[in-house]
């Protein structure tokens, strides 16, 4: 199957700096390109700035300096109204889930579709399979505070995937689930990626990331210190072989 060459990257950071109010610079000279259809892990210790980088990426924060473009559009200075159509192409899994407690699980999942103006008929026919997919069908009418951490995480992921985003940004999407489920979720993201979605997953879990054949970005103290699949300072055999996804399949319940 021949793939169209997409010259336009989905996102491009150039010398991006970010500070929260008048605090210290949290992101420093971040230069990074996410090609269309790519799948990256973003690794790094606590407080390294992973979430901050993702916040810039999903348009919650504007960089304090540098250039940042998304879907080919320079967003550093774009008016708010112009960000709306860009946001509708992004699926976000927040580190703290950010489900709306007043809405049932199914309404939370349907929310991005409703905000996008989809009709109820279409929403129903999209939400049901997504509930099935994430194993939340039985909890469709439950409210987030009644769910376990893992179930909330699943609902948050379902809400991000429901729009079939062109860019999926997931912040620690497997932090609250057990290992087998984490693997299953990464597979779900891979499936989406095969359909053309660009994926960026921030995680602490080195072991999980190393089980997949995807490039790993590493952050430390606000900088991208390492880019690419092959760790610079370690022998290539540390990385699992390309066919490692079969071993991942074995780990599934």
Partner 1 sequence: MKPSLAAVLSDRDGWFVAGLIGVLVFLAVIAMSAVLLVGSIAERWQDELASRILIQLSTASDDAPGAAGADGVSPETALQVQQALELLRAQPEVARAERLSQDRLAVLLQEWVGSQQALQSMPLPAVIEVELRPDARKRATELRERLRTALLHARIDAQIDVRIDGGPATQAPALRLMQGIEVLAILVVVVLAATLATSVVFATRTGLSRHQDAVEILHLLGADEAGIVDALTFGALRTALIGGIAGLVIGWLTLLAFGRLAAGAPYKMTSHCP
Ligand X SMILES: Nc1ncnc2c1ncn2[C@@H]1O[C@H](COP(=O)(O)OP(=O)(O)OP(=O)(O)O)[C@@H](O)[C@H]1O
Do the Cβ atoms of 106 and 141 come closer than 8 Å?
Answer: yes
- Closer residue to ligand X in complex, CB, 95/244: 95
CA pseudo-torsion sign 3, 191, 228, 6: positive
Residue among 48, 158, 167, 182 that touches ligand X (CB under 6 A): 48
Query: Which residues bind to partner 1, rule: CB under 8 A?
Result: 58-60, 80-81, 84, 87-88, 90, 92, 98, 100, 102-103, 107, 110-112, 114-116, 159, 163
Residue 91 vs residues 59, 81, 253: alpha-carbon distances, Å: 12, 18, 27
Q: How many CA atoms lie within 13 A of 40 on its CB side?
A: 25
Give the helix/strand (H/E) hosting 226: strand 223-226
Query: Which residues in 92-111 contact Mg ion (CB under 5 A)?
Result: 95
- Closer residue to Mg ion in complex, CB, 95/205: 95
Q: Based on the shown chain and the rule CB under 5 A, indicate whether residue 51 belongs to the binding site for Mg ion.
A: yes
- Closer residue to ligand X in complex, CB, 107/171: 171
**Residue 59 and residue 204: Cα distance in Å, rounded?**
23
Q: In what order do the strands lie in the sheet with 198-202?
A: 90-93, 167-171, 198-202, 39-43, 216-220, 223-226
Do the Cβ atoms of 13 and 68 come closer than 8 Å?
Answer: yes
Number of residues forming the site for ligand X (CB under 6 A):
13
Give me 36's structure tokens.
Answer: 């269309």
Here's the x/- map for ligand X, 21-40, by CB under 6 A: it reads as --x--x--------------
Q: Binds 167, which of Mg ion, partner 1, ligand X, none (CB < 5 to 8 A, cut-off by type)? A: none
Q: Based on the shown chain and the rule CB under 6 A, indicate whether residue 20 belongs to the binding site for ligand X.
A: yes
Minimal distance in Å, beta carbon 121 to partner 1?
13
Q: Greatest CA span in the chain, whole angstroms?
A: 54
**Residue 219 and residue 206: Cα distance in Å, rounded?**
13
- Closer residue to partner 1 in complex, CB, 124/194: 124
- Closer residue to partner 1 in complex, CB, 111/221: 111
Q: Binds 26, which of Mg ion, partner 1, ligand X, none (CB < 5 to 8 A, cut-off by type)? A: ligand X
Q: Based on the shown chain and the rule CB under 6 A, indicate whether residue 198 belongs to the binding site for ligand X.
A: no
Terminus-to-terminus CA distance in the chain, angstroms?
A: 31
Minimal distance in Å, beta carbon 176 to ligand X?
13
Q: Based on the shown chain and the rule CB under 6 A, indicate whether residue 47 belongs to the binding site for ligand X.
A: yes
**Residue 112 and residue 163: Cα distance in Å, rounded?**
7
Minimal distance in Å, beta carbon 107 to partner 1?
4
CA-wise closest residue to 150 among 124, 170, 120, 173: 173
Which residues lie near Mg ion (CB under 5 A)?
Answer: 50-51, 95
- Binding footprint of ligand X on the chain (CB under 6 A): 20, 23, 26, 44, 46-52, 95, 204
């Amino acid at each position: 199957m021949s793939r169209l060459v997409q010259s336009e990257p989905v996102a491009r950071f150039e010398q991006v700096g970010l500070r929260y109010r008048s605090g210290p610079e949290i992101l420093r000279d971040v230069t990074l390109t996410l090609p269309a259809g790519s799948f990256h892990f973003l690794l790094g210790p606590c407080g390294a700035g992973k979430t901050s980088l993702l916040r810039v990426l999903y348009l919650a924060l504007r960089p304090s300096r540098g250039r940042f473009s998304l879907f080919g559009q320079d967003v550093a200075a774009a008016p708010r109204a112009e960000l709306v159509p860009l946001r509708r192409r992004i699926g976000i899994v927040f580190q703290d889930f950010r489900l709306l407690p007043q809405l049932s699980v199914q309404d939370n999942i349907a929310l991005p579709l409703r905000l996008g103006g989809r009709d109820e008929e279409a929403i129903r026919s999209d939400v049901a399979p997504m509930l099935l997919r994430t194993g939340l069908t039985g909890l469709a009418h439950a409210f987030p505070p009644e769910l376990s951490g893992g179930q909330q995480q699943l609902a948050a992921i379902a809400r991000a995937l429901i729009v079939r985003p062109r860019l999926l940004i997931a912040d620690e999407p497997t932090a609250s689930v057990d290992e087998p489920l984490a693997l299953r979720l990464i597979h779900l993201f891979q499936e989406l990626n095969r359909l053309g979605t660009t994926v960026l997953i921030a995680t602490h879990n080195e072991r999980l990331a190393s089980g997949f054949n995807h490039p790993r970005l590493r952050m430390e103290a606000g900088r991208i210190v390492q880019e690419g699949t092959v760790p610079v300072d370690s022998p290539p055999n540390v990385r699992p072989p390309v066919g490692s996804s079969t071993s991942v399949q074995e780990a599934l319940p």
